[in-house]
Amino acid sequence: MPRWIALSLYCLACPLLAAPCPDWSASRAGAELTTLQHQLKGWDQAYHQQGRSPISDELYDQARERLQDWQQCFAPQAPSAAPADLGPPGTQAHPIAHTGLHKLRDEQAVQQWLHGRRGLWIQPKVDGVAVTLHYRDGRLLQAISRGDGQRGQDWTTQARLVAAIPQQLPRNDELILQGELYWRLPGHVQARDGSGTARSQVAGALQRSRLDADSAARIGLFVWDWANGPSSMDERQRGLRALGFADSAELTLAITDLAQARHWREHWYRSPLPFASDGVVLRQGSRPPASSWAAEPPQWAAAWKYPLSQALAQVRGVHFQIGRSGRITPVLQLQPVRLEQRSIQRVSLGSLQRWQALDIRPGDQVAISLAGLTIPRLDGVVWRSAERPALAGPDPAAYHALSCWRPSTGCTSQFSARLAWLGGKQGLQLAGVGPGTWAKLQQAGKLPNLLAWLDLEEAELARTPGFAATRARTLQQSFASARRRPFAQWLKALGLPASGAAALGTDWDTLAARDAQAWDAFNGIGPQRAAQLVAFFRHPDVQALRQRLHAAGVAGF
């Protein structure tokens, strides 16, 4: 959807999904609103004056909506709302205004729009650039870009090179067609492929001083309205077929209710089409005379967009998870956003280095998508908050494979990861014991070290918040069963470094006696891993765990 349509979209049912107002002071609100307005102005200038798109239209639309939401939240602090910079204005007047579209945010808003209307139609919302095609005496007189809806640029020279645009029509009266020029994408499935750069490719081709033959052949035409055509949609569609626009007519279908609208929206989202599309357009078959149209969203048409492929999310906080091996993983806590019917509140950055490079802080706005339609993924920073609190990450030197055997200050995360590994499928496979179990015991102060749970009796567990009598009994039985686990399983549960083809035997003393050279003699163990194995057996905290297991009668220790 071109930016000039995005600016005219009206948000229906905003209170249903709008984020809560930020808890900002008046001065902070003013600074944040100004920052966003400056960012939007920069994007507008890049798009309309320089012919490049620094941000996807999907994110741009959300940023515009975010500005509207904030202006409502902080009306006294909102700077004067400057219109979007559309670049040099078009000089060619449209014979009939381009109206733009309302945007319906969800099914409830769609149902409200459909209620009471008759003679309804639906068509894909083609992701291209809008154009007016003006014919007189059967010949193409002018092609005009959408511009501001009243005036646009004269694209007639380019249009005469595009085979998809007929130069001659079999009628002698005046015809005014409105439609979308798109980049041909045979077999394109929107849910799978997204829009990519399709719109910018066709827009860039038409803005060049000379349209090359290859680009002209890649441009298609979808006629979405015969502006000065017959009063009924049936007649207009029959007329478009007769004029040679059968492909456009075939994708304009009659519907009666929300269920049919939902069906076709889902069908076109997941089925091959020859173009990128970003939703569907709902239309009433009857509408006012074209002479009354204005460059603003009408009441007789609306857009229902596809699910977001990228969501704009505000960062609420940055949490640093420290894994069992000491790896630090920054996780962004987000103001909840929805993608593919999922509420996304967290996204991992993968590594401390990536967080340091991006320098993301609370208040920043980021782009989120789903990898493989399931895993939240950070695509990048969209813009930064005007007020950026100081935020220091953990010291990487303080965390490693042998740190945090107790829940001391700064060690809660790594210690919790050690517990999860110890009781999980990689370790002792304790039935009914998961991260939630360990968290409750930690909160109750029952786990001062990694093996303190071995001493917990059923009565003490039953007195612990979150554990009823039956749960305490089964949990104590699961803990007691750990004493019978094999020696090798216990070593892995404690975090023994990968030992390749090394023979682990049946007792601790034999393994602890090996030096680096002895470990290195086994296949699959190099000098680095050999040094890690020696360090593991010699570490004081690990030796203390060995003594505890020896006292508990666990075989091998």
What value does the mean pLDDT take over residues 515-527? Answer: 94
What are residue 507's phi and psi, to 5 degrees? -145, 155
Answer yes or no: is pLDDT of 18 > 60.
Answer: no
Q: Specify the pLDDT at position 46.
A: 74
Highest-pLDDT range among 15-19, 21-25, 254-258, 502-506: 254-258
Mean pLDDT of all residues in 393-397: 94
- Would you list the DSSP string of 374-415? TEEEEEEEEE--SS--------GGG-STT--SS--TT-HHHH
Q: What is the mean pLDDT of residues 348-364?
A: 96
What average pLDDT does the chain have? 90
- What pLDDT is recorded for position 75? 85
CATH no. for 311-389: 2.40.50.140
Give the model confidence (pLDDT) of 237-254 as tens digits: 999 999 999 989 999 999
What percent of the chain is modeled with pLDDT above 90? 78
Residue 286 banded pLDDT, cuts 50, 70, 90 = very high
Lowest mean pLDDT segment, chosen from 59-63, 126-130, 393-397, 400-404: 59-63
Percent of the chain with pLDDT over 70: 93
**Backbone phi, psi, residue 440, to 5°:** -65, -40
Decide if pLDDT at 315 tops 60.
yes
The full 3-state SS of 281-298, as one line of letters, equals EEEECCCCCHHHCCCCCC
pLDDT, position 115: 94
- The larger pLDDT score, comparing residue 185 to residue 56, is at 185
Residue 33's pLDDT band, with cuts at 50, 70 and 90, is very high
| 312 closest CA partner among 347, 278, 337 | 337
Amino acid 333: pLDDT:
97
- Per residue in 50-74, pLDDT (tens digit) is 656 788 877 888 898 899 899 999 9
Query: Does 192 have pLDDT greater than 90?
Result: no
Element (H, E) at 102: strand 102-104
Instruction: Say whether pLDDT at 313 is over 80.
Output: yes
- The pLDDT score that the predictor gives to residue 88 is 52
Average pLDDT over residues 489-496: 96
pLDDT at position 376, please? 95
What is the number of alpha carbons within 13 Å of residue 422 lying toward its C-beta? 22
More confident site: 87 or 190 = 190
**According to the model, what pLDDT value does residue 5 have?**
39
Q: Which of 171, 361, 373 is nearest to 270 (CA)?
A: 373
Active site residues: 125
- Residue 192 has which token pair? 């799978």
**How much is the average pLDDT of 165-194?**
94
pLDDT at 14 (0 to 100): 38
The pLDDT confidence band at residue 340, using thresholds 50, 70 and 90, is: confident
What count of Cα atoms within 13 Å lies in the side-chain half-sphere of residue 129? 24
Say which CATH architecture domain 92-305 belongs to.
Answer: 2-Layer Sandwich (3.30)
The Cα 63–Cα 312 span in angstroms is 7
Name, in order, each residue with C-beta under 8 angstroms of 238's C-beta and a sequence gap of 6 or more: 249
Give the residue range(s) of CATH 1.10.287 domains in the chain: 3-77
For 77-86, 250-259, 463-472, 540-549, which range has the lowest pLDDT when averaged over its residues?
77-86
pLDDT of 279 above 70: yes
* Amino acid 49: pLDDT: 60
Q: Minimal CA–CA distance to 289: which of 209, 442, 176?
A: 176
Check pLDDT > 70 for residue 366: yes
Query: Where are the CATH 2.40.50.140 domain residues in the chain?
Result: 311-389
3-77: CATH number: 1.10.287
Show the tokens assigned to 150. 């009243």
Sequence ranges of the chain with CATH classification 3.30.470.30: 92-305
Q: How many CB atoms lie within 10 A of CB 444?
A: 15
93 CB contacts (<8 Å, ≥6 apart)?
150, 151
List the single range of 81-95, 348-362, 416-430, 466-480 with lowest mean pLDDT: 81-95
| Residue 98, both tokens | 């381009």
Decide if pLDDT at 12 tops 60.
no
